[in-house]
Amino acid sequence: MPYLFTSESVSEGHPDKVADQISDALVDHFLAFDPNSKVACETLVTTGQVVLAGEVKSDTYIDVQSIAREVINRIGYTKSEYQFEGNSCGVLSAVHEQSPDINRGVDRGKPEEQGAGDQGMMFGFASNETSSYMPLALDLSHRLLRELAVMRRENGAIKYLRPDAKSQVTIEYSDDHTPIRIDSIVVSTQHDDFDEETKMLAKIKQDVISVLIPRVKAQLPAHIQKLFNDQIKYHVNPTGKFVIGGPHGDTGLTGRKIIVDTYGGKGAHGGGAFSGKDPSKVDRSAAYATRHIAKNLVAAGVADQILVQVSYAIGVVEPMGIFVDTYGSAKVKMSDGEIAQKVSAIFDMRPGIIEQRLKLRQPMYQEAAAYGHMGRKNEVVKKKFTRPGETKEMEVELFTWEKLDYVDKVKKEFGL
């Protein structure tokens, strides 16, 4: 019997994502000037106020207040009527030095001897239902909000947009897990005030359906475009007026959108957030590594969809174990346990080796802090970083965990 599955996304202006982006901007600046920095930084944003807290071990000094303000302005909180504005908000820093009790189990000189920065389990997932090997409902949810942000900055076709927004897409699947159609789309966007609420709601709904949706649809391959139809149920700003938003409307915290950051509810999640953490924290590095594994396995044809789990003990070098679930979609004559043994032989999951394999000591994280950490484009970009008295420009390779650089090796090991 056909079934429905839903995923959501939130925009870069959502308060939790504002917090994530500030935290990751701090991580990037520390890594840019000291690649060996250890960072665990949390951010809280609310009306007119930013609070930074966390632990850092680094040989560099950065101006955390200036970095936070720069992020807020880039997102688009630049007007006083938002009650949260980059140049005028207060920024309180309570960042202090990392506990030596934690660091002693992590730093051991050689990368192959580096212990895990924390205990826990991390999951990676991949599916062949999209070209990015991501679940379709989440992929579409992200696309809607990325395009909405592009339109906001264009300030052309739609002029009333403000930074905060959320989306949600529900897909109908067949019994064999093939997408049949889009059942419903939800878009809630912050907006400038209107004189009349009834006209406002009608205008926003019309613009979403007739301007935003066609622009997103045009980005998609033909077989995904066919899932759009005249029967889609649209819920656009379903509560009505959405003028008060962002950190003024709702306090934001680092790490509260972990499902948006990963697979939209597909697969599984170990519970650890990514943003604000340097890659010695396996919450981050091992989640990227398991995504890299799952994507390369699916791309190689091992299965149509795969979940990979790895677990660690703090300060211990080798993982506790690796688990694989192919959901019965395996294309090889192996049990999931046998596939997991192959994975262990192909991919070295020691934390220090993961850092090296995926080049995770680069200042590469702010770009991942909105619109998902997975399914993104692997590319090299130029970035600029500043600290008191110094500006540094450098090339950075983004989303290295999305590379399909192990497909040939996987095929050879699995006889594909």
Binding-site annotation, residues = 14, 16, 42, 55, 98, 164-166, 241-242, 250, 256-257, 273, 277, 281
Give the three-state DSSP class for 305: strand
Long-range pairs of 242-245 with CB within 8 A, sequence gap ≥ 24 = 242/164, 242/188, 242/189, 242/190, 242/191, 243/162, 243/190, 243/191, 243/192, 243/193, 244/83, 245/13, 245/162, 245/163, 245/164, 245/190
C-alpha span between 42 and 19 (Å, rounded): 8
| b/e code 351-375 from CB counts within 10 Å (16+ = b) | bbbbbebbebbbbbbbbbbbbbbbb
Q: Which residue ranges make up the annotated binding site for L-methionine?
A: 55, 98, 250, 281
- Measure Cα distances from 290 to 110, 205, 299, 343 in Å: 23, 39, 14, 10
Residue type present at position 2: P
Name the 3-class secondary structure at 231: coil
Q: Which amino acid is at 281?
A: K
Q: Residues marked as binding for ATP?
A: 14, 164-166, 241-242, 250, 256-257, 273, 277
Hey, CA dihedral for 366, 10, 171, 335, is it positive or negative? Answer: positive
Asked if 254 and 25 touch (Cβ cutoff 8 Å), the reply is no
Q: In whole angstroms, what is the distance from residue 22 CA to residue 409 CA?
A: 38
Annotated binding site for Mg(2+): 16
Could you tell me if 95 and 64 are in contact, meaning their C-beta atoms sit under 8 angstroms apart? Answer: yes
Whether the Cβ atoms of residue 292 and residue 124 lie closer than 8 Å to each other: yes
DSSP classification of residue 210? I
Q: Give the integer Cα–Cα distance in Å for 208 and 11.
A: 15
Strand partners, 165: 189
Closest CA to 289 of 239, 214, 353: 353
Alpha helix (H) residue ranges in 282-386:
282-300, 336-346, 351-357
Q: Given strand 321-325, what is the order of strands in its sheet?
A: 120-127, 305-312, 321-325
